[in-house]
Amino acid sequence: MRIFKTPGPIKYINCLLTAAMYFPGLEGVVVKETKICHIDLENSKIYYRGYDLEELAQYSTFEEVAYLLWFGKLPAGAELERFKAELMMYRKPPEHVDEAVKIAPKNAEPIDVLRTAVSAMALGEDLSDRSPEAELVRGLKITAAMPYIVASFDRLRRGSQPLHPGEAKSHAEYFLWALRGERPGEREVRALDVMLIIYAEHSMNNSAFTAVTVASTLSDMYAAITAAIASLKGPLHGGANVDAAKMLEEIGDAKRVESWVDQQLSRGRRIPGFGHRLYKKGPDPRLRVLRKLARDLASEKGDFKWVELAERLEEYVTAHLSQKGIYPNTDLYAAVIFKYLG
Ligand SMILES: CC(=O)SCCNC(=O)CCNC(=O)[C@H](O)C(C)(C)COP(=O)(O)OP(=O)(O)OC[C@H]1O[C@@H](n2cnc3c(N)ncnc32)[C@H](O)[C@@H]1OP(=O)(O)O
Ligand SMILES: O=C([O-])CC(=O)C(=O)O
């Protein structure tokens, strides 16, 4: 409005350009350059630091991938063991964070407890050193403590006490062990490990964008990750895997897929685990790994209910909505895998 009152020629052009440059959902707007992740839409491939994600999911571990994403190279020799030892050192968060988890109401959402706990991790720490090295240590502390925080809250709400399984050999094993109170089987640990690799990075998604926005004000890592978790919680982003799991339970049987989907669509509702800002011409590339992982877990358990339900959903929803560019995303099969992992 002000510009129209005094429309100097340059200001006026700027005003028109700005007005013309609104891209809903930031479609096509480049906000940052990154070497961390490359999504090749044409060939349906994802690369972490130049490595094919499908190969990482087959041959590496979450710890190796975390190291790769953070330091730009896979760990060599003793580096991996050192990195794992560092993670183990920070598994248990400071006492006041433990207390915050303990006093959280039992009906709280686990993601809200996690967001609050990560925010609380900033309290009492000297945050004056904002160098990349200091922030990386904070990132390591947050990553290391997340399994304990989430598992502790789940145990407390089920009436048990938190557990710190110090003998666990990996991030995935630590989480399942801390959650269940007993050592998990190797195949289950590997399934969660693959899920963690698959979810570790996806370029400038909503939560990463949020974290980068907060970090760009020179705020600290705890603040950036707290904000990222708040973004991730939304049912259009990470919260979709919770909704997809609820959907599997609600449908209950592959034979009910058609009627359930028809009803949801006729009410104008979205189907969780479908649709993606990037993948408009075919399914999410990560599904090639996850469909197989879900099938393997189903055979292992001798229970095909959840995987067959997801496969039927994939077939039916794709047949109905692919003309709109709607295909299954990672969260559909993540929900299946999480159901098999209990
Ligand atoms: C790890 C992750 O975060 S992956 C994403 C997880 N999120 C989900 O699974 C939630 C369900 N999906 C969605 O809400 C969306 O597909 C999003 C948010 C992921 C992507 O949205 P966008 O690409 O912006 O698509 P947009 O919102 O513009 O929808 C385009 C059309 O498809 C429809 N649509 C999009 N997703 C779905 C869905 N899951 N079910 C049914 N219809 C859908 C929309 O209603 C819209 O229809 P219209 O043109 O007739 O109005
Ligand atoms: O990229 C996105 O918008 C969401 C997603 O699939 C992810 O974060 O893994």
Catalytic residues: 276, 331
Q: Where are the alpha helices (DSSP H) in 46-131?
A: 53-59, 62-71, 79-89, 95-103, 110-120
Q: pLDDT tens-digit profile of 27-42?
A: 888 888 899 999 999 9
Per domain, the residue ranges of the chain are 53-232, 240-340
SS3 label, residue 232: helix
CA distances 26 to 17, 23, 46, Å, are 16, 5, 21
| Smallest-distance ligand from the CA of 234 | 1
Q: Which residue in this structure is represented by tokens 């959650």?
A: 179
Q: Pocket of ligand 1, candidates 199, 232, 276, 318: which has the most ligand atoms within 8 Å of its Cβ, to mutate?
A: 276
Quote the pLDDT of residue 18.
Answer: 54
DSSP 185: P
Q: Residues lining ligand 2, CB < 6 A?
A: 202, 205-206, 237, 277, 329-330
Residue 209 and residue 257: Cα distance in Å, rounded?
35
Cα 331 to averaged position of ligand 2 atoms, centre (Å): 9
Residue 330 and residue 46: Cα distance in Å, rounded?
13
Q: Pocket of ligand 1, candidates 262, 270, 320: which has the most ligand atoms within 8 Å of its Cβ, to mutate?
A: 270
Cα 144 to averaged position of ligand 1 atoms, centre (Å): 33
| Smallest-distance ligand from the CA of 271 | 1
User: 40-46 — which CB contacts under 8 Å span 24+ positions?
Assistant: 41/278, 41/279, 41/281, 44/282, 44/285, 45/285, 46/202, 46/285, 46/286
Complex ipTM more than 0.95, yes or no: yes
How many other CB atoms sit within 10 Å of the CB of residue 209? 16
* Cβ contacts of 209 within 8 Å, gap of 6 or more: 26, 31, 231
Measured from the CA of 274, which atom of ligand 1 is nearest? Answer: 39
53-232 and 240-340: same fold?
no
CATH entry, 53-232, from 3.90.1150.10, 1.10.580.10, 2.30.30.60, 2.40.50.140: 1.10.580.10
| Smallest-distance ligand from the CA of 46 | 2
SS3 label, residue 127: coil
SS3 label, residue 18: helix
What pTM value is reported for the model? Answer: 0.93
Residue 20, judged by CB atoms within 10 A of its CB (0-12, 13-18, 19+), counts as: exposed
Q: What is the pLDDT along the chain (342 residues), one digit of tens a residue?
A: 223 333 344 444 444 455 568 888 888 888 888 999 999 999 999 999 999 999 999 999 999 999 999 999 999 989 999 999 999 999 999 999 999 999 999 999 999 999 999 999 999 999 999 999 999 999 999 999 999 999 999 999 999 999 999 999 999 999 999 999 999 999 999 999 999 999 999 999 999 999 999 999 999 999 999 999 999 999 999 999 999 999 999 999 999 999 999 999 999 999 999 999 999 999 999 999 999 999 999 999 999 999 999 999 999 999 999 999 999 999 999 999 999 999
Residue 218 and residue 45: Cα distance in Å, rounded?
33
Measured from the CA of 276, which atom of ligand 2 is nearest? Answer: 3
How many other CB atoms sit within 10 Å of the CB of residue 30? 7
Q: Pocket of ligand 1, candidates 46, 317, 326: which has the most ligand atoms within 8 Å of its Cβ, to mutate?
A: 326
SS3 of the chain: helix, strand, coil, percent, to 5: 60, 5, 35
Superfamily of domain 240-340: Cytochrome P450-Terp, domain 2 (1.10.230.10)
Q: Which residue's CA is minimally distant from atom 2 of ligand 2?
A: 205
CA distances 111 to 117, 155, 224, 301, Å, are 10, 15, 16, 28
Residue 295 and residue 314: Cα distance in Å, rounded?
14
